[in-house]
Structure 1
Amino acid sequence: MIVASEAVFPNNIVKVIAERTPSIDSGLFVTRRPLRTSDPNESVGIFPGQWVPDERSQEMGRINPGEPTMQQYIVGIQAFVKDGDEEAGLARHSTLSYAIRSMLYRDAAIRVGFQSLAYTSNGVTERLRRWGIRSQRFLSNELSGSWLYLSTLEIWAETDSS
């Protein structure tokens, strides 16, 4: 049986973001998974998306030769707003999408949380070194008289192991 006492990469990144997201608005529904159609009208979903090892970072003489010392994770953040009024929904969604970007760039607690992320296993410690926003895509649609707005923001996070 797998016993885990702490979240490891990339879920520790997800955890830091999810803990700070309610600071945008206390009424937001925040979850650590992609959003579902049954989620509330103002929702944010944060979830891991991809792990990419940097094959150029394999070093000789390491405990585990052939294991890359650098890797990159992609984390997705979905923002969803559902509203019966097209203009009001668009305004609320664009504000929420902007607030998420601003939080990631400007929130001191996220910066401190990211700087402290590390996980040690079998004598090897992986640490978050750099991160940034890759892109944010926007979708909108109308369904049964309600306007649905969704954005998906991707951040990349680079770690190294020693």
Structure 2
Amino acid sequence: MPHSRIELRFGGTGGQGLILSGKMLADALASEGKHVAQSQTYEPTSRGGFCNADLVVANGEVDYPLPIAFDYLVLLDKLAVKPSWPRIKPDALVIADTRLCPELPDGSTPRHHLPLSRTALELGNERVTNIVALGALIALSGICKRQSIERVVRTGSPRAFLDLNLDALAAGYALATPVAAAAS
């Protein structure tokens, strides 16, 4: 983690598991000794309204717990683009779902359209799109160790979803690994 403070957002709609993804990543980062502040925003509709999970990660104490400008932005629905895009740094890493977030504003920001929800559907359940995205984010950013997030997914998943979540995490890595290799 090259910066002393990293800010990221999982953005989409209610019901996509964004808050769970944020919590899992926060737990993985904390297990590596990072300091993490987590916050979320969601509209009063339980499903379908704008929702996000934000993390501020620091090597030391988090001086201000809310994000100001995102280093990483994961978009799982087009509804999250408008409230999130103005707050990204010029060199932010953006990951967007090809099916649910097909268009992004113009600009030079590094962006990766990946078939996150389609991959989840191929695994048998669209509800694991958030875990596919989590694997892709970690593979592309290196924000935490793969073993750390796998440990959190193992301990934090309901038994009925454990194998599916582990498969989704591995699928996210598989989607992003060729992209990460090409970028280096």
TM-score (norm 2): 0.32
TM-score by structure 1 length? Answer: 0.36
Write 1 or 2 for the structure with the bigger share of helix.
2
When Rg is computed on C-alpha atoms for both structures, the one with the higher figure is 1
